[in-house]
Amino acid sequence: MRSPQDDRLEPESPGSGGITYVTRHNTADADAQLRLLIDNVRDYAILTLDLEGRVASWNAGAERIKGYRAEESLGQHFSRFYPAEDVARGKPQAELELVTREGRFEEEGWRLRKDGSRFWASVVITALRDEQGTLRGFGKVTRDFTERKLAQERLLQSEERFRLLIESIQDYAIYMLDPEGRVSTWNAGAERIKNYRAEEILGQYFGRFYPPEDVARGKPQRALQVAAEEGRFEEEAWRIRKDGSRFWASVVITALYDPQGTLRGFAKVTRDFTQHKQTQERRELEMLRDAVLARDEFLSVASHELKTPLTPLQLKLTSLLRVVENHPEATLPVGRLVRDLDVARRQVRKLADLIEDLLDVSRISMGQLRLDRTPMDLTALAREVVVRYTPQALQAGSTVNLEAPAPLPGNWDRVRMEQVLTNLLTNALKYGAGKPIRVHVRMDSGLALLTVQDEGIGIAPEHQPRVFDRFVRAVSERNYGGLGLGLFITQQIVEAHGGIVQVRSTLGQGSAFTVLLPSGLDAKLD
């Protein structure tokens, strides 16, 4: 139902061919308004053509877009807006014939401005019929879509460039799968790595790149499922080339969704890491072999070290036994017996220490190094240890100079800290015999610092990074003995306390080992 005021122009039967404009209650006012509207619209060229195709009306938009003023256009045939080649093909006329038949014609194409330049036009031509259905002329609405067209072309061009780039990449197989997993694009890298040419593989299910056992377990399908659900799937695994040979592939599958959230397919990037894997395996094998070698060498060193004190021990015990057997009780040479017993005791002690080190290393590798923190004074401990080692120092021809100006309180494991000190000091005595040794204990920036410095043989720069490793004995040319465990254990103890141990050394001039320890006063006592 239309209201009496309803005097708009409107199509009588939309979609059924030409549009018949009916004006009901036609008033001069409404007509004038409509004219004004059409005249002033600037974004659309709105014009009418008579039956022969001559311009009958022209609005501001037409002037703006095509460059002709109304008086230049009215009465002119509309074919002047078409490029010469279109005119030569009779395109303008054909369009009017089509509109006459079908009521409407729509297209996008190049059109000419007055100055001869082209613009990309979106054009709708409509047949104008009166109430009796008689064709009166044509309405033409044109928009200038040049900008949009250029943007589209730029996009296409960059897409084209991108496509060419991907197609020419050799090191990566980059290709797409449709949502069902069929190959839909193929690049040079894919051809190089998998050996299929594009025409052989396009449209094929990508499962053929998997080894049969993976296909049997549904791996290809699962990979796509993960990618679809999580956006991405990544793995390194064996894949199959065209000739059936295997290569070690690094694979990333990315799901491609359109803005509406519909799965459009998958992008696959595959690299051939076979070489990479082989190098890695070789390296792992070498490491394994090195570890086995290190262990064998350690076993030989350990058995040698453990055996060494046993020989003098056996000798001493045998000679002690002889002495006791051969002397009547009253005439036993007590002095000699005491000396020999002392030697024997020291050898036993050496053995016990070696075994203790071995036990420590096995505790550490099983993660069983426990600290028993108590409040203690590092300065007092250092003094104690230095005093205890005075006889060894004398024997080595070294003096140990202790610099420990003030008490250094902290919460540390006393037995373990003593072990650290004795390890460093015995090393200094061993590798710096005959030269002065300095033990320096002080507080610096809230850390307890302990330095043991000798002027001995020093450590070559290439050996320095490894002296804290297990079983490492940097000195090979001259045998100093030892299992190569002391510094490893030292470092583990220091680190368990939250500290670090460093070495500074110059070959032939001596070494300085420094332990930096947090006070541990805020650590929980257990």
Q: Which residues bind ligand ADP (CB under 6 A)?
A: 427-428, 431-432, 454, 456-459, 467, 472-475, 482-488, 511
- Residue 99 or residue 354: which is nearer to ligand ADP going by CB? 354
- Residue 111 or residue 473: which is nearer to ligand ADP going by CB? 473
Least Cβ distance, residue 219 to ligand ADP (angstroms): 49
Distance in angstroms (rounded) separating the CA atoms of residues 177 and 253 = 10
Least Cβ distance, residue 267 to ligand ADP (angstroms): 54
- Residue 191 or residue 357: which is nearer to ligand ADP going by CB? 357
**Helix H or strand E encompassing 453:** strand 447-453
- Residue 68 or residue 431: which is nearer to ligand ADP going by CB? 431
Using an 8 Å Cβ cutoff, are 1 and 88 in contact?
no
Using an 8 Å Cβ cutoff, are 214 and 237 in contact?
yes
- Residue 307 or residue 339: which is nearer to ligand ADP going by CB? 307
Distance in angstroms (rounded) separating the CA atoms of residues 312 and 514 = 35
Distance in angstroms (rounded) separating the CA atoms of residues 220 and 200 = 20
| Cβ-based burial of 368 (10 A; exposed 0-12, middle 13-18, buried ≥19) | exposed
Q: What is the b/e burial string over 10-41, where b = at least 16 CB atoms within 10 angstroms of the residue's CB?
A: eeeeeeebbbbbeeeeeeeebeeeeeeebbeb
Least Cβ distance, residue 476 to ligand ADP (angstroms): 8
Least Cβ distance, residue 490 to ligand ADP (angstroms): 7
Q: Which structure tokens are listed for 326?
A: 């051969």
- Residue 382 or residue 474: which is nearer to ligand ADP going by CB? 474
- Residue 123 or residue 457: which is nearer to ligand ADP going by CB? 457
Helix-, strand-, coil-residue percentages of the chain, each rounded to 5: 45, 25, 30
Least Cβ distance, residue 397 to ligand ADP (angstroms): 15
In the three-class reduction of DSSP (H, G, I as helix; E, B as strand; rest coil), residue 320 is classed as: helix
Residue nearest to ligand ADP (CB): 482
Backbone angles phi, psi at 502, to 5 degrees: -125, 155
In the three-class reduction of DSSP (H, G, I as helix; E, B as strand; rest coil), residue 193 is classed as: helix
Least Cβ distance, residue 484 to ligand ADP (angstroms): 4
- Residue 72 or residue 353: which is nearer to ligand ADP going by CB? 353
Residues 6+ apart with CB under 8 A from 169: 187, 188, 189
- How many helices (H) does the chain have, and how many strands (E)? 17, 18
Least Cβ distance, residue 342 to ligand ADP (angstroms): 24
CA dihedral of 446, 447, 450, 453, whole degrees rounded to 10: -90
Least Cβ distance, residue 477 to ligand ADP (angstroms): 10
Which residue's structure tokens are 């080649």? Answer: 85
- Residue 344 or residue 457: which is nearer to ligand ADP going by CB? 457
Least Cβ distance, residue 430 to ligand ADP (angstroms): 6
Residue among 174, 120, 106, 129 at smallest CA distance from 21? 129
- Residue 224 or residue 424: which is nearer to ligand ADP going by CB? 424
Distance in angstroms (rounded) separating the CA atoms of residues 409 and 418 = 14
Least Cβ distance, residue 501 to ligand ADP (angstroms): 11
